[in-house]
Amino acid sequence: MHFVCCEVMRPEIEHVLEKTGKKLNITFFEQGLHDTPDVLRSKLQEKVAELEQQNESEIILGYGLCGRGLNGLTSKQATLTVPSIHDCIPLLLGHSQQEAGALSLEGSTYWLSAGWLRYSQVKFVNERIQRQKEYEELYGLDNALFLIEQERSWLQHYTNACLIEWKGMKNLDSIYADAKFVAEDAKLPLRTIEGRDEFLQALLAGGKDERFLKIRPGQTIDIDCNGNVAAVGV
């Protein structure tokens, strides 16, 4: 069994493995691939083919549908196990897709987590000064300020930032400080919600219950007519 996952889940995965003493072969891919679903699909397909050449029969994927990046992903001989979710937030919360949707306050929540802060959110904010300088050199000050302001425009439909906090995780004070920094930059009030590790533990154990899909050779992952993530024929 081999586990393939986005690095945004790394802090929680390391926490669970340390807590349980479980050993697992893991490949982490860089955060942000879901922004270009075709690239995500291609990288995962290459990894599946590589593992199949090594006679791996079971591959666990720490991804949801992820902007349809997993739609079209398939195997020739291995079984692909994936959580039946749209993105990683339900795994981090430890809730089903429906429960996570309710906790998002009708989609108005900007989610923060240890991994999202480490690999994406803090870095993006910290690099803004450099981006503004580059914009100024290319387009002038007024246009640079406009472009920087446009960076925040995608946050307009959010009403709050919420840190998914896992009790017992290392460096919680630092994680909270980073969350406060990002929330203040986004001009959003910060709340916290406790994440549960049982969902992720179940995935790391092979995803054997109804929360997970077994994608057989010749199948892929997509959304069915009821809006649920499901295994479908290629």
Cβ atoms 96, 148 nearer than 8 A? no
Half-sphere CA count of 62, side-chain side, radius 13 A: 29
Query: pLDDT at residue 103 above 90?
Result: yes
Query: pLDDT at residue 193 above 90?
Result: yes
What pLDDT, on the 0 to 100 scale, is given for residue 228?
Answer: 85
- Confidence category of residue 133, pLDDT binned at 50, 70, 90: very high
What letter represents residue 84's amino acid? S
Measured between alpha carbons, how far is 61 from 178 in angstroms, rounded to an integer?
28
Strands 109-112 and 160-165: parallel
Which whole number is the average pLDDT over 37-62? Answer: 96
Is residue 168 helix, strand or coil?
coil
Query: pLDDT at residue 156 above 90?
Result: no
What percent of the chain stands above pLDDT 90? 83
Residues ≥6 apart with Cβ < 8 Å to 128 = 148, 151
Query: pLDDT at residue 149 above 90?
Result: no
Cβ atoms 155, 121 nearer than 8 A? no
Query: pLDDT at residue 82 above 90?
Result: yes
What pLDDT, on the 0 to 100 scale, is given for residue 129?
Answer: 83
